[in-house]
Structure formats: structure tokens, C-alpha cells
Chain A
């Protein structure tokens, strides 16, 4: 209980610092909204692009933002400093995850409202599935974001390594382009990773006639999330790497 209160306190400080940092706020917050405007302006398939960019926003807030932000904190010695205090390490990390989820929730709300108001896309037809997708996706991508820090050699490399992991997959995973006409081998690759399953579950929760709802998508997200948690616990480093 005390750890949970401490985690909430950490969340509030992380949140305060985040909005004061123009670079962080821009890349994590404004970037996905920019894509929302650009794609829906360029293409007519708003029924695809609104949920797809919604999924992208959650991935940006949870995976990209957590992996980069925690790596930077690690290499600046912030994690090591926290480790020397009586704050339970898990409370610190949960605080950061809570902040990521908070940003994701704001973004998905904006995307959904913008879809209804400007792009003629109805809100999710099945709110239960929508919330389940959101919960599974946010949890999985936060866990993977924490685990992924172990693969990032230093803070300078963080943006390159994280984008190299996310962007190619996003292009074949129903995020920036519908994957219907992608060659089979690309679809097979995308099927292994969590981004496409998250995008498809998001698309289906908005409109099941556009993409069919499949509980398997959430199952795959769950497996990736647990893998991220296990690998994160095993390989996460609190010490700067120089």
C-alpha cells in the first residue's frame, strides 16, 4: 500500500517534469497528433487512420517514451541515485509507467474525439473491447519499453535504437499503411511482433466490420508483455553504462 502511494507520488513528479520539457512533450505528445492530422488529411480512409494512429500514440507514449526516458535517466545516474535511497525500486518504475499510461490515455482520448468531431469516425462500437485492448497494449508496451532499455548501449544511441525497432514494424503492422496488400512474408514478420496485433484489436474495437475482432490479438499482447516483464526483471540495469 505504501509502495503504491510512493509510486503515485513519483508519477506526479514525472508528470510535472514532462510537461516542462519541450522536447519530451513534443515528440511524445505532439508527434502522434501531427500524424493524425497529416494522414487523415491525405487519405480518405479515416476509418483506418483514426484507430491506427490511436494505437501508434499508445505505442509512442508507452514504449518509445519509456525506453528512451528510462535509458536517459539510467545513463545520467538518476536511477543509481534513487537506488541508494529507501524508495522501493518498484515504486519508482511503477511511477514512470503510470505517467506513460496517463499520457497514452490523454492521447487516445484526443484521437477518439478528433475522429468523431472532424473525421466522421464513430467512437469505439464496443467500449469493453476498446478498454481491454488499451489495457493490454499499454501494459505490454510499457513492460517491453523497460526491458528494451537493456538493449540500448547509451543515451546517445537511445533515439536511433528505439526508432529502428518501432518504425519498420509500424509500416508493416497496420499503423501507417493498411497491411492488406503487403507481401506475405512481411505479414508473417508483422504477425510475430505485438504492434500489428495491437493495431488490429484497436481497429476492431472501433469498427468490427473493418477488421474482425480476435481475442488472439490480446493473447499475443499478453505473451509479449509477460516476456517483457521477465526479461526486464532479469536484465534491467540501474547503473549508467559508459
Chain B
């Protein structure tokens, strides 16, 4: 599999008795935008930092562009770009100076003006870093990550704290990176971000991957099914067989998850016409990634075995 940018097998990481990562498998294809989603404390940052070479793993196999990141090879560092969550920059240098300083660390840097253009900081080129807004500093972070023209870019929560228009700009920028043929490993806790940008998503909860796949078809047992909702007045006749067996009824609210919405809706609406029942607030929804995510990350009533 030469086209695998990242290959992780049975990765574990423990801090004393605390098992932060409990055996995860991840494969990221070259050229795709891959998103790792999870709540805080799920093992997201630990996993990324192991891939970046910032932390040592406890067990398992990790390959990043064919290298073991735990060895700290400089030849690997020359081919990846890392955009961490909270990293400062020398505040008294200008945008161009900072990017140029980092370009000098790499054997084949990307041209300065191209980098500035990709992140849209043309107008701030000669501004000191301390004069930049939060969103502009985040774009500078990405610019630094691009300095060495990396094949693989790690982006850790790139749009946290952005206003909506800044986020849209950042998304445009990440799409540009994909156009350039980069592999992007994106961690985020914004569902819409993953849904909009990622080719594939993995959801990590409690140190384990609980779901993995393209955002449109993330398969969980119920999560991928269509949800049919309506209000059924008290004293209505019983629902037809197929609907009754799948329905979850709370008071007047009816919720049915189904893999075959056309047949079931036909049955329900036919039954409603025959019996003159008004199906109040009838709605049919495809599950959003957010629902999948909330379902999967909902705290379980019992602790993990």
C-alpha cells in the first residue's frame, strides 16, 4: 500500500495507570482530508501528537509517510507540517519574516508569496505578528505549517475561536490545500467542519475509534438510518405492524428509525389517510454527522468494561 500517508495499528498510550489511547487503527490515504473527531479528553490530541512525533507511544505500530515518527527523523519532519493548537510565534517579527524564518528550516520550501496567498495574508505581509487578530494569527500558524511545502499537514482545531466568516475562509483555505494534493489530518470538534471538509472521518471516544467512514455514510447501528417523526394524538388507532414494531413513542411524539423510509412512509401515510389521522409535525430527516456524533459520544450509563 504505497499510497497510505498514515498507517496506525493497535496504537496504545498510557500515562501510568491512565490509558489515554486503548488500541486504535487508522489508515489515511495520500491526498485525502481525514478528520479525527472527538470530545475533549477522548485521546484526540494524544493520538495526533504521537503521529507528529511529539510523544512516544506505549504500544502498536505507527507509520507516517513510511517513517516511524517516534524516532524523530529529520527527513520525516522535512515532509510534514504541524499546526498545533496553542503555539506562539515571535511577536516582534513580521508575517513575512516569520514565514521566511521557518522556510529556512526545510530543504524544499514553498515560495514565500505563494504561502502568503494560500492563507490570504497578503495585506498583512509586513505587519508585526502582535498586531494580527486572532483569526489572522491562526492563518499564520497554517502558513508556518506550509513553509516546508509538506506532503502531509496536521491541523489541530484550526478554526477554534473563529467567527463564521473567518471559518468559511479557513475552510476555503483547507480546500485549496487539498487541491494542491496535500494530505490533511484534521482534528476538530465542529461537526459541520468535518462534514464539509473531510473525505473520511473517524470518531474517537474514550481512547477508542467508535466509527470511521465518509461523513455521509458514517455507519453506526442506528445512526445511519433515516428518522421519521410525527405527533400522534391520544386515542388514535394503533399504527400498522411495520411501523408499530420500530416506533419509539414518548407521549404523543413518535420517532421511527428505518433503513427503508420509502416503504415505511407509504405504509404510515396510507394508514393515516384510511383512519383519518393527522400526522402532526411530520418530518423525515437524514441523520447529520452531529447526530451520529452525539449518539456515539453520549456518556454510557455503565462504565466501559
Q: Chain A: residues with CB nearer than 8 A to chain B? A: 6, 9, 13, 16-18, 20-21, 73, 76-78, 80-81, 83-88, 239-240
Contact = CB atoms under 8 A, between A and B. Distances in A.
Nearest to A81: B87
23 contacts: A9-B101, A13-B90, A13-B101, A17-B91, A17-B92, A17-B93, A20-B93, A20-B128, A73-B88, A76-B87, A76-B88, A77-B86, A78-B89, A81-B88, A83-B54, A84-B53, A84-B84, A86-B74, A86-B78, A86-B107, A86-B148, A88-B74, A239-B54
B102 interface: yes
B92 A84 contact: no
A87 to B, nearest CB: 4
A9 B93 CA distance: 14
Interface residues of B, number: 28
Given A20-B128, A81-B82, A81-B144, A87 B93 contact: no
Given A17-B92, A76-B87, A80-B54, A85 B77 contact: yes
Interface string B54-80: 100000000000000000001101101
Contacts of A9: 101, 104
Given A9-B104, A20-B128, A84 B77 contact: yes
B97 A85 contact: no
Contacts of B104: 6, 9
B101 A84 contact: no
Nearest to B79: A86
A239 to B, nearest CB: 8
Nearest to B98: A13
Contacts of B93: 13, 16-17, 20
Contacts of A80: 54, 84, 87
Contacts of B78: 86
Contacts, number: 66
Nearest to A5: B104
Nearest to A9: B104
Given A9-B104, A16-B92, A86-B75, 9 more contacts: A13-B93, A20-B93, A77-B86, A78-B90, A81-B82, A81-B88, A84-B77, A84-B82, A239-B54
A86 B106 contact: yes
Contacts of A78: 87-90
Interface of B is mostly: loop
B251 to A, nearest CB: 48
B105 A87 contact: yes
Contact of B54 (A20, A84, A86): A84
Contacts of A6: 104-105
Given A13-B93, A16-B93, A85-B148, A77 B88 contact: yes
B84 A81 contact: yes
A126 B84 CA distance: 52
B52 interface: yes
Contacts of B102: 85
Contacts of A13: 90, 93, 97, 101
A85 B88 contact: no
A20 B53 CA distance: 33
B78 to A, nearest CB: 4
Contacts of B97: 13, 16
Contacts of B91: 17, 21
A200 B74 CA distance: 45
A88 B89 CA distance: 18
A6 B101 CA distance: 10
A16 to B, nearest CB: 7
Nearest to B73: A86
Contacts of A86: 74-75, 77-78, 105-107, 148
Contacts of A18: 92
A77 B89 CA distance: 8
A240 B89 contact: no
Interface in B125-140: 128
Per CB-CB distance, the 6 closest pairs between chain A and chain B, nearest first, are A76-B88, A77-B87, A20-B92, A87-B105, A84-B82, A17-B92
Interface in B99-143: 101-102, 104-107, 128
Counting chain B CB atoms within 10 Å of each CB, the highest count among A13, A16, A86, A87 belongs to A86
A78 to B, nearest CB: 5
A83 B105 CA distance: 11
B125 to A, nearest CB: 16
Nearest to A76: B88
Given A78-B87, A80-B84, A85 B52 contact: no
B84 A21 contact: no
Contacts of B74: 86, 88
Contacts of A88: 74
B128 A240 contact: no
Given A13-B93, A83-B54, A84-B53, A77 B84 contact: yes
A98 to B, nearest CB: 15
Contacts of B90: 13, 17, 78
